[in-house]
Structure 1
Amino acid sequence: MSDKSHLNHLLWLTIGTIFISTSGALGKYISMPTPVIIWWRSFLAAIFLLLFCLYKGIDLKINNRKDRWTFFLAATFMGAHWITYFYALKLSNVALGMLSLFTFPVITALLEPLFSKTKFDLIHVLLGLLVLIGIYILAPEFDLKSSQLQGILLGLLSALCYALRILILKGQVVKYNGTMLMFYQVVVLAVILIPVLFFMDTSNITTQYPYVILLALLTTAIGHTLFVNSLKYFKASTASIIGSSQPIFGIIIAYFFLNEIPTIHTFVGGTLILLTVVIESIRSKFK
């Protein structure tokens, strides 16, 4: 790969990461019930991704029934991840929500031996402890009535759902196009969440639609597609390290658009969490 094309791929990967980082500020800002936001996000993203697949001639055929069930299960965990993450953002703030979500690389590493023939690695326990120390520093007080602690706990649940989704989909990435995988997941999620439109308030869409379109197009369709496509040119570990800058971009975006100023606890706890992501990503290069 020439230096120029390498820089181009690096630029697109960074742009994709910044686009995905907008989920924090948009999730906090959009004034609608969380399941309704996620339905609109999924429904609109499905349209954008379908148009992209048709334009690029991407094959949408699913090979067998087992893969259909895998897609369905992955979509369910993705939905649980998005919903708990958005509740985490609304209960706490963008910094705490995003940083607690970014425990997912270590959770993934700890769970991987249960899903594949990977051997259990003691270093993952140490990284897990480092993450727990980071979470302890993040939490202003360990009072379950505290909305910030509730937000952090929901962020951790979101990270668990995200890790499970990654592990379920891992074998499918080799067989199918990344955009096609994302398309089917948002389609399944949009179908699963149809009932929320009948018993939750959806009237705010008339004022919130520009932000919902941004969330579906910029964050979900373009951001995730750019990130998945970058895996063709970079090791997963390199993409993960750059991806771990999402909370940093998210905190900067939240500062400018929501006037959220992180505390010193957020900086120290967040640094420990992101340090574990970088350590694990660098280690995975040499395995």
Structure 2
Amino acid sequence: MTKKDEENVLPYLSLIIAMVAISFSAIFIRWVDKDISPLVVGAYRQTFASFIFIPFLMKDNFSEIKTLQHRSLTQMSLVGIVLGLHFGFFISSVTKTSVAAATLLATSHPLFVVFFGWLLLKENVSQKSQFGIFLSFIGISILFSGELLDNSGTYQGNLFALISGILAGIYFLAGRSLRLSISLPTYAFVVYSISAVTLWCSVLLTNANYYPLPQRDIGIFLLMAFVPTLLGHTLHNWALGYLPAYVVSVTLLAEPFGASLLAWHFFNELPTTWVVLGGVICLGGIFVTLISKSKPQYTDSVVQES
């Protein structure tokens, strides 16, 4: 293979590795002791994830953070709170519904980026995007209705996953302008740290047990920080430098499939007919929405919905 071939193949290979890494997020959550609160899981994950970026910031002695304007810090703090809530709801959803349903509904965030961009920022939405959003909501409705008809007891988990998707949409939309002027390590460190503080406050308010915890679970929290966050999202961001943004955006839709396959392998868990039917329609709508955007604005993978 020539050097040029390697340059052409490596970005796509990195996307495959990234999607496998990100797909493990829900699996790691399931591996955690069931007696540990999802809020504790999220708090540890985000704490460790914020630590990852400290070495990058030490290279210039935290100079960018020191020069951040008060307005930017306030905006990043609000974004961090939203991110913390997102993880709280997503992790809770994985413990209350199927991995397939949780990751599918959390991956719906591009719909809400477009919707809130239109509603709040008066951004133009093409007819294709409108059709994609409509199609996705039909899929989500089928998923919810079918699970209710089956009386599977997963309604709360599905609702939490959908809320996490909405919060992820708000996160991406709110952080969009900030990421244009602030480097990835600085942005991620501040936002992750605030999200961790948000989750720790939730832990204290709910009197959840957070210490001592089994070493095995601490190890899983570290895996959550390093595999989906450092490996998965870093490779995603790297690929953005070599591939069209819409290509990277569309690959995010692979997470529900990857996570579902892993759940089948590790837990013998198969999605219900309603999840499959609603999921295919929903993902189809998201796909239409993504490709109809000439310049997608929500491809920054500092944080995915999971």
Query: Could you say whether these structures have the same fold, taking a TM-score greater than 0.5 normalized by the shorter chain as the test?
Result: yes
Of residues 35, 40, 44, the one that matches 1:40 is: 44
**One-letter amino acid of the counterpart of residue 20, structure 1:** I
Structure 1 length-normalised TM: 0.90
Match of 2:176 in 1: 170
1:208 aligns with 2:217: yes
Match of 1:87 in 2: 92
- Alignment CA distance shift 1:59-1:238 (3 Å): farther
Deviation of 1:228 (Å): 2.4
> 2 CA distance for matches of 1:266 and 1:146?
12
Deviation of 1:179 (Å): 3.1
Contact 2:110 2:286 in 1 (8 A): yes
> 2 CA distance for matches of 1:64 and 1:18?
37
Contact 2:37 2:208 in 1 (8 A): yes
Match of 1:124 in 2: 129
- Alignment CA distance shift 1:82-1:105 (3 Å): same
Secondary structure at the aligned position of 1:284 is classed as coil
> 1 CA distance for matches of 2:133 and 2:272?
23
Which moves more between the two structures, 65-74 or 220-229? 220-229
> 1 CA distance for matches of 2:40 and 2:164?
17
Unaligned runs of 5+ in 1: none
Deviation of 1:96 (Å): 0.7
Query: How high is the sequence identity, in percent, across the aligned residues?
Result: 21
- Alignment CA distance shift 1:240-1:225 (3 Å): same
Taking the TM superposition and a 5 Å limit, the aligned residue runs for 1:123-272 are 123-139=128-144, 140-142=146-148, 147-196=153-202, 198=204, 199-202=207-210, 203-272=212-281
1:131-167 Cα offsets, whole Å, 9 max, x none, are 1221233233437x85312111111111110000100
- Alignment CA distance shift 1:52-1:253 (3 Å): farther
1:199-251 Cα offsets, whole Å, 9 max, x none, are 21123343311211100111123222222232222232111111111111111
Structure 2 length-normalised TM: 0.85
Secondary structure at the aligned position of 1:91 is classed as coil
Secondary structure at the aligned position of 2:292 is classed as helix
Contact 1:49 1:221 in 2 (8 A): no
Which moves more between the two structures, 109-118 or 49-58? 49-58
> 1 CA distance for matches of 2:30 and 2:116?
29
> 1 CA distance for matches of 2:274 and 2:31?
23
Give me the CA root mean square deviation: 2.5
**One-letter amino acid of the counterpart of residue 215, structure 2:** T
Match of 2:58 in 1: 54
> 2 CA distance for matches of 1:233 and 1:56?
26
When the two structures are aligned, how many residues end up with a matched partner? 287
Contact 2:136 2:286 in 1 (8 A): no
> 2 CA distance for matches of 1:265 and 1:131?
14
